[in-house]
Structure 1
Amino acid sequence: MSTTSHENASSERQPKKRACRRGRPAGTPRDLAVVAAAVLLFAVAAVVGHHLHVTYDVLHLGWPPLYAQWDPHVGPGTPAALVVAALVVVHGPALARRMPWRALLWSGWGGSMVWCWSLALADGWDRGVARRLTTGYEYLQEVDRVDSIGRTLTVFTDHILLTSPDNWVPHVAGHPPGALLTYVLLDRVGLGGGAWAAVFTITVASSAAAAALVTVRALCGPTTARRAAPFAVLSPAAVWLAVSADGYFTGVAAWGIALLALAATRTARRPGIAALGSGLLFGLLCYLSYGLALMGLVAAAVLLAVRTWRPAPAVLLGMLPWFVAFTVAGFWWFDGYSTLVERYYQGTARIRPYGYFVWG
């Protein structure tokens, strides 16, 4: 039986309820309107941000609305990035249509990983990879400081404020302790240092491409997922995924949503286990980044799209162990968050216009 026939047969055995309309051609007026609105929003944010930057110098952004600098350059990874981009654009759509589904997922992950590595290496090995997570703002600065994980969790909030003794470096202070502890555990199993941290981060981050395909297939069907594959591989988000701990967070969030979509559409063999796994990832996510608690809205959107709340209890149950473990160990999430808000206004937020960052 061919791959296409196999997928058609599989889809017949799966629930017919889908969150997306099938058969709607790409590039409809609704799609184009959404794209136009996104482009317009970015353009307005750029113009207004440039005005605020030049006139008042209050944003502290190098390239509003992005925290970046305009610095065109080439490096060791540039040729590979060009080759990967060309291959995916030219051959990606046809391969995505023909490949077996599991092979497509592995290829999507692998292609995204090569894309991320290529872009990171455009800055060279040291600047682009090995030293990215070792700067004065980053997690690895504090790894050696953690002698006892239990003790660290107990006093973590006490070191967030700039006025506190031995205050954490910005990225550690700006996140719950789960992010720091991840790199501490890597160090303790013999994968210490910036290079191993980067390898771990890129590997998890690039898996988001496969997770996105799983989500789209569950919600919209295999045809739409296959069409999306080249875009998932060449996602512009790779610039932030490699190498930043945000990429690690992205991978965790993407798989949490993917498992939830499988549970909600009941396309997983064991929907309850998928929902529980989704909850475990969402619970971890809450202790990686305060802001990513808002992924709960994305999760709710998945359930609303499928019109079921059946997975919700299992998801909440999966989240519970993280909250219990961190709270019993001495870290209270809400104290950490409220203290972080106070630290935020100790820095450049004192002069940054809050309203611009709400929409820009």
Structure 2
Amino acid sequence: MVGLVVTVALVGTAVVVPPLLDWQVWPRVHIEDGTFPPLHGFPQVKLGIGTIPAVLLAAASVRWADPVAMRLPWRRLLLVAYAVGLVWLPSLALVDGAEGISGVLGSPSEYLGTARSVDDVGGLLREYVARIPYDAPDGNWPVHIAGHPPGMVLFFVLLVKLGLGGDLAAGLVVTVIAATLPLAVMTTLRVLGSEHRARAAAPYLVLTPSAVFLAVSADAVMAVTAAWGMCCLALGCRVGPRRGWPWAVVAGLLLGYLVMMSYGLPLVGVLALAVLWLGSGRRWGWGRGWWVQGWWVLPVAAVSALGVVLVFAAGGFVWWEAYPVLVDRYWDGLASQRPGSYWTWGNLAALAISAGPLVGAGIGATWAARRRLDDRAVVVLVAAALIMVVLADASQMSRAEVERIWLPFIPWLTLGCALLPERWRRPGLALQLATVLLVEHLLHTSW
């Protein structure tokens, strides 16, 4: 209960303080239509074609999601979870009509416009760093391309080459990919020996309030890449080096490419170490038997990940040279006008809205379960997610606009909801669903 109260109070304070104290937390360029801090958006009451299916699915889920998650055979549960996600995500997006799926990715600040103009990938990589600064002689990149390594824009270049580069087509592809996110997290937890908790977490993972942003944000692709990378790490640990090395290689490739998608996502290394620790029988170090215990996955995955980074470097994009340039652009732009005295904790309020208020209660339940050996996997994964969030927030490189940036971390925080007492489960899910429906129908969100 304490965690829930603190979370609700944090969100309420973040919403009320700026207008109450006339505190300008957004640069003036953002305020033509009004704002709704801590979210990047403004109040707007709306109904749309997605309203009815979203409400019906929410009502049905409160009644049946929990028993279905606990009773279905595992593979059938994964199929049902994916099918529900494929209804839930677009239903929320379609509250805004077709624009709800196509509008964000079609924005001039996003990746698609640049991806459509790319004829030479090698040339893109070679000029990438030079066009990050605002005063780049050949013109600077739009904000999202400049703010991220080239991995994400190359994903959209691939969609364009496959004939899926339209705004709506790309949005549908992102939605189909985003719906796999709960499956990756659930499977990771099951492989780490906690199937019961994976089942208990399923309704909260599939019907997450972050679905408002998952269906329309390129950050959803990053979240999925991170989650399947963790799943492959866990699988490698479970089956051992003889049969598990392909899983370790794939994990490294996914996580290496993840670093090429976002400058902030090397932080998932914290989560990777947590997965390896759990997968190795919770043993640290390189003592006798470490190879069999699961730590053998670390060097194999690390070499694979480094290979991805070096391939990009050979092509012309050197991550460690680009990051300082990005930092300079960040502070030359609007970030310097966003007060850290608000956004250091306002960021966390945005996280709470995106993840749903029940996540605060889940964190409290995780703390209460810290000594229960049967729940060690959930406790460690939630703790790793908290560490990543704290590090990201402390970096001051994510002032505002973070409801989408938190997407790779939110599912792992959400696992704490699986530890809530039985009496919390149905009302807790109802609270999460009410949150997402209110955010979608009362706010215009830009991500």
1:103-158 deviation digits (Å, cap 9, x = unpaired): 11122122112110101111001x21123211121111112321200011000111
Q: Deviations over 1:186-229 (max 9, x none)?
A: 11122221122111111111110111111222235221111111
The residue number in structure 2 matching 1:146 is 118
Deviation at 1:50, TM superposition (A): 5.0
Match of 1:137 among 109, 115, 123: 109
TM-superposed CA distance for 1:80, in Å, is: 0.9
1:73 Cα deviation (Å)?
A: 1.2
User: Aligned-pair distance for 1:38?
Assistant: 3.8
Does 2:96 correspond to 1:128? no
Q: Residues 276 and 43 (structure 1 numbering): CA distance in 2 closer, same or farther, change over 3 Å?
A: farther
1:55 corresponds to which residue? 23
**What is the aligned partner in structure 1 of residue 299 from structure 2?**
313
Preserved contact between residue 116 and residue 165 of structure 2 (Cα < 8 Å) = no
Gaps of 5+ in 2: 284-294, 347-447
| Aligned residue number for residue 199 of structure 2 | 226
Report the AA paired with residue 273 of structure 2.
A
Q: Distance in 2 between matches of 1:236 and 1:270?
A: 38
Counterpart amino acid of 2:55? L
Please give the secondary structure, in 1, of the residue aligned with 2:332: coil
Given that 1:50 and 1:64 are in contact with CA atoms closer than 8 Å, whether structure 2 keeps it comes out as: no
Partner residue, 1:337: 323
1:275 to 245, 248, 252: 248
| Alpha-carbon shift at residue 321 of structure 1 (Å) | 2.4
Q: 1:65 to 1:358 in 2, by over 3 A?
A: same
> C-alpha distance in 2, partners of 1:259/1:291?
21
Which one of 332, 348, 353 corresponds to residue 346 of structure 1? Answer: 332
- Bigger relative contact order, structure 1 or 2 (CA pairs below 8 A, ≥6 apart): 2
* Aligned twin of 1:303: 276
Task: Pick from 123, 127, 132 the counterpart of residue 155 of structure 1.
Answer: 127
For residue 79 of structure 1, what is the aligned residue in structure 2?
Answer: 52
Aligned runs of 1:9-48 on 2, under 5 Å? 32-48=1-17
Cα root mean square deviation, aligned: 2.3
For the 8 Å contact 1:205–1:249, the answer to whether it is kept is no
1:96 corresponds to which residue? 69
Structure 1 counterpart of 2:421: none
> Are the structure 2 counterparts of residues 282 and 85 from structure 1 closer, same or farther at C-alpha, using a change threshold of 3 Å?
same
Paired position in structure 2 for 1:189: 162
> Letter of the aligned partner of 2:108 in structure 1?
G
Structure 1 residues 155-191: Cα deviation after superposition (integer angstroms, max 9, x where no partner)? 0111111211321111111111111111111111222
Identity value in percent: 39
After TM superposition, the score normalised by the length of structure 2 is: 0.68
Structure 2 match to 1:259: 232
Query: Is the CA contact (8 Å cut-off) linking 2:226 and 2:268 kept in structure 1?
Result: yes
In the alignment, which residue of structure 2 is the partner of 1:200?
Answer: 173
The 1:267/1:68 distance shift into structure 2, 3 A limit, reads: farther
Shift of residue 51, structure 1, vs aligned partner? 5.4
User: Is residue 308 of structure 2 the alignment partner of residue 322 of structure 1?
Assistant: yes
